[in-house]
Structure 1
Amino acid sequence: MEMGAEGDMDKASVEHLYCCGAVTELLKFGPRDLRRTSAKLLFLVIPGNPGVVGFYKTFMQTLYQSFGRRYPVWAVSHAGHCNPPDAMDMVEDSYVTESRGVFGLQGQIDHKLSFLQQHVPRDTRLVLIGHSIGCYIILDMMRKDPGLKVLKSVLLFPTIERMAATPHFRVPGHESNAMYMGGQEMRMVLERDNATIRHNLNKLVFYYGATDHWCPVQYYHDIKKDFPTGDIRLCESGLRHAFVLDAGKRMADMVTEWLQSDLKDL
């Protein structure tokens, strides 16, 4: 392969579409349409809040390159967590978005399931990568749709319990949709979903921060005690909760190492 062609492959494509009636931004490395490719596995990143996919570009590009460009790596924004292009409005159908509560936490979970249903063939194997509230979303996706062909879910700096009790409580983001979702997180993310974790333990990797004010180290010790055989890790690299701002490549290198054995036989 010529260097120029390889460089083109490493460029991300950005798309905007309506999902559940709300504008949604996609960031994609590799094939843009899974129905026109032989790819049988997709890496899908579910972001934190605000759910802006551009923050994950370095992280995603590193993953794509690390696995030899064999697997597409996509990220899907949260509904309404992006600036729509000139030809699109924030909302395509206000009745749909309001009736389905798409901008709330449960609505965002259904939004991700709808995206998969509409754009990812059902037999595609999935590596789901969640960050912060994206980890809560992934666990609930796995609970609601146990038929998803999840090979592994990697949960980075997971906010999956007792959010309102964290020492640095604040509503993230500056735009109204992010703040609305953040307020719901504080009310709804209470108890850890141990039943879903237990049922899927061999598919889950947890990575807790050592100085994460959104998810104190005590939460790591608690889940480690409850699931002693789980793949539950504590950061030893000094990464912060918002790792995407300055350590996307380092985080992707670690995730690559964790997944090598799971992907080697595909």
Structure 2
Amino acid sequence: MENMGTECRDEPQTDFIYCCGAITEVLKFGSCQLNSGHKVLFLIIPGNPGVVGFYRTFMQTLHSMFGYRHPVWAVSHAGHCAPPDSMDMVEDASSATDRDVFGLNGQIEHKLAFLREHVPRDTNLVLVGHSIGCYIILDMMKRDPELKVLKAVLLFPTIERMAETPQGKVMTPVLCHMRYVAYLPLFLLSLLPEGFKSSLIKLVFGGIPSLDHTVVQPTVSLLSGDCAANAMYMGGQEMRKVLERDDVTIKKNLEKLIFYYGATDHWCPVQYYHEIKQDFPKGDFRLCENGFRHAFVLDAGRQVAKMVVEWIRGVLRT
């Protein structure tokens, strides 16, 4: 019976909602609705593409290693999920356009709106960001200083000079000037049968020996409809807008922040790690010693989650 209970607790719930008028997927381990009795919520802010299914193994590991005591949720980026048949990509097209909800600023406001609408104000938050999700978290803390953030864990943080990084130099022309060229092949891919798309994704990921196969289906969903186009639009804005590091916000929240940099991360060179560590000698900055890739969810979600648990266990001990 104990095993059956554990299996149930390891099965998440997926909700599709409108937030800021755009389709949003929320993946939830543990409590699916919060009240003021919930003391702590883990909230995952994804990278780009902001598909929550990529983080399933990472989230399940966090949830189980804390004894299933704290709900662990992930909120997708607006428009980075295929809506169910009963819903559209946006509730009101003109409103979504006016807000630029799929752009970088719109995505930040989208996360703050999600917290206002679905999380009681007195809930203590452990925010976990990945890649551009780290930039979003810092901006959330800047825009709403009253958020009750216990810790913010920033994994492979793209928080500065993205266009100047090795990967940024390659992707900036594609995302800023040539993304429309990709829309036709993306549309054609979306027309393929699901089984064929799944086989295609497995082929693309074939070079990853320890691939986490739970990422295959989320990748397939990304090839449906406008999801990939929305992700590319957001990516173009990242190249243009993620420029200088927000030292004011970092300094103000330094005791709450944990940064984890990759040793071979082409989106965030080791030089950035050394510079921020020098500028904030009292901060908690860590450099990967395990060879994890920037897209750690592909094959190291469980290992990274175990590290996060060790880093913050003391904060949650009451």
TM-score normalised by L of structure 1: 0.97
- Do structure 1's residue 152 and structure 2's residue 166 form an aligned pair? no
Partner of residue 127, structure 2: 128
Partner of residue 262, structure 2: 209
Partner of residue 297, structure 2: 244
Partner of residue 29, structure 2: 29
Q: Give the deviation of 1:95 after TM superposition.
A: 2.1
Q: Which has the higher helix share?
A: 2
Q: Secondary structure at the match of 2:125?
A: strand
Q: Distance in 2 between matches of 1:89 and 1:207?
A: 37
Unaligned runs of at least 5 residues, structure 1: none
Partner of residue 185, structure 2: none
Q: Distance in 1 between matches of 2:38 and 2:143?
A: 25
Unaligned runs of at least 5 residues, structure 2: 180-221
Q: Distance in 1 between matches of 2:154 and 2:56?
A: 18
Q: Give the deviation of 1:6 after TM superposition.
A: 2.3
Q: Distance in 2 between matches of 1:168 and 1:5?
A: 44
Aligned Cα root-mean-square deviation (Å): 1.3
TM-score normalised by L of structure 2: 0.81
- Do structure 1's residue 13 and structure 2's residue 66 form an aligned pair? no
Q: Give the deviation of 1:9 after TM superposition.
A: 1.2
Instruction: Please show how residues 86-235 of structure 1 align to structure 2 within 5 Å.
Output: 86-169=85-168, 170=171, 171=175, 175-235=228-288
Higher relative contact order (CA 8 A, sep 6+): 2
Q: Give the deviation of 1:38 after TM superposition.
A: 3.1
Q: Distance in 1 between matches of 2:314 and 2:153?
A: 14
Q: Give the deviation of 1:193 after TM superposition.
A: 0.1
Q: Give the deviation of 1:186 after TM superposition.
A: 0.3
Q: Distance in 1 between matches of 2:251 and 2:16?
A: 36
Partner of residue 3, structure 2: 3
Q: Give the deviation of 1:122 after TM superposition.
A: 0.2
- Deviating beyond 3 angstroms after TM superposition, the runs of 4 or more aligned structure 1 residues are 171-174
Q: Secondary structure at the match of 1:177?
A: helix
Q: Distance in 2 between matches of 1:5 and 1:263?
A: 24
Residue identity opposite 1:147 in structure 2: E
Q: Distance in 2 between matches of 1:44 and 1:178?
A: 20
Q: Give the deviation of 1:7 after TM superposition.
A: 1.3
The share of aligned pairs that are identical, in percent, is: 68
Partner of residue 308, structure 2: 255
Larger Rg: 1 or 2?
A: 2
